[in-house]
């Protein structure tokens, strides 16, 4: 078992990732949240899971490539590392004026690959490290379309980090599913952490295209209703979201707290300042 005090960083950068506020969010969990199973239906980078380290967990995401990646991290970390290191060496050996070509060749292969295969998993990691701002975005046809980030180097691959996360995932269930299906089996005393794409705080800040399906206001309303239904089943649930008038309206039937978090998805340093976010709960502390 890994040292519980050792911080394990996520393997992937993900829009809306919680690595910078996971400790703060942990303070809003019920004191006995470990008495049941932990559910995280919008896994993303997995920062909350890595901070909490639940003994029993069901982790899911609608993106099959993301779940495919974590499945290989869990079951075949050294094989996956071998494939990633090959991509690392190939990119590093490419002349400076051919780095972009190398990236777009990987992106093309990724979009043609099977999400269940190791090629998809290794390419997802490489593209995440080399694309613009570490974003994951799909077009309407489900094709990853983030451009090259003009990186001169492929960041070092940390084998110890892979193996540590593989160990933490060893007893976790990994599923590709939407957020409703993900929690159908949740029972009394289980705990659910929802981290959906946020409601935009202004017309220019919308970013919901993690998958071609998007995540609109009707989905936010379904999530709010689901949290109320979970409360009736004795399942505690917490959700992160933006602090906007619309968010407060959609989730008005639930308990709302305000925290400050760094806004990390931006092309300029001005977009990385602290902003208010909401912690939404269906239970009392």
Element (H, E) at 218: helix 217-232
Q: Which residue has the higher pLDDT, 207 or 45?
A: 45
Sign of CA dihedral 147, 93, 124, 15: negative
Predicted TM-score of the model (pTM) = 0.91
Domains delineated in the chain: 22-62+177-281 (3.40.50.150), 69-158 (1.10.1020.10)
Element (H, E) at 231: helix 217-232
Give per-residue pLDDT as tens, 152-184.
999 999 999 999 999 999 999 999 999 999 999
Confidence (pLDDT) at 268: 52
Rounded to an integer, the average pLDDT of 107-117 is 98
Sorting pLDDT into bands at 50, 70 and 90, what band is 277? very high
Confidence (pLDDT) at 7: 78
**End-to-end Cα, the chain, rounded Å:** 29
Contact in structure between 199 and 106 (CB atoms under 8 Å): no
Give per-residue pLDDT as tens, 129-145.
999 999 999 998 999 99
> Is residue 157 classed exposed, middle or buried when 0-12, 13-18 and 19+ CB atoms within 10 A define those classes?
middle
Bridge partners, 281 (sequence order): 238, 255
Confidence (pLDDT) at 194: 98
Confidence (pLDDT) at 211: 44
Least trusted range by pLDDT, from 15-24, 70-79, 224-233: 15-24
């Amino acid at each position: 078992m890994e040292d519980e005090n050792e911080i394990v960083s996520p393997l992937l950068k993900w829009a809306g990732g919680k690595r910078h506020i996971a400790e703060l969010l942990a303070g809003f969990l019920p004191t006995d949240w470990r008495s049941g199973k932990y559910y995280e239906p919008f896994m993303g980078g997995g920062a909350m899971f890595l901070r909490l380290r639940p003994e029993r967990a069901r982790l899911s995401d609608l993106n099959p490539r993301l779940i495919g990646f974590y499945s290989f991290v869990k079951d075949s970390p050294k094989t996956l590392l071998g494939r990633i290191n090959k991509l690392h060496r190939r990119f590093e050996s490419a002349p400076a004026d051919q780095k972009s070509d190398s990236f777009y060749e990987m992106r093309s292969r990724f979009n043609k690959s099977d999400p269940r295969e190791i090629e998809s998993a290794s390419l997802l990691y490489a593209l995440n490290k080399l694309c613009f701002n570490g974003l994951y975005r799909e077009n309407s046809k489900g094709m990853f379309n983030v451009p090259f980030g003009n990186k001169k180097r492929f960041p070092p691959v940390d084998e110890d980090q892979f193996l540590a996360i593989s160990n933490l995932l060893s007893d976790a269930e990994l599923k590709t599913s939407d957020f409703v299906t993900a929690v159908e089996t949740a029972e009394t005393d289980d705990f659910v952490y929802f981290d959906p794409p946020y409601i935009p705080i202004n017309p220019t800040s919308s970013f919901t295209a993690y998958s071609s399906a998007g995540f609109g206001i009707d989905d936010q309303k379904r999530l709010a209703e689901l949290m109320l239904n979970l409360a009736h089943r004795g399942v505690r649930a917490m959700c992160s979201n933006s602090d906007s008038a619309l968010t407060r309206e959609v989730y008005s039937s639930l308990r709302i707290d305000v925290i400050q978090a760094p806004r990390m998805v931006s092309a300029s340093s001005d977009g990385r300042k602290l902003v208010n976010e909401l912690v939404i709960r269906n239970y009392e502390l």
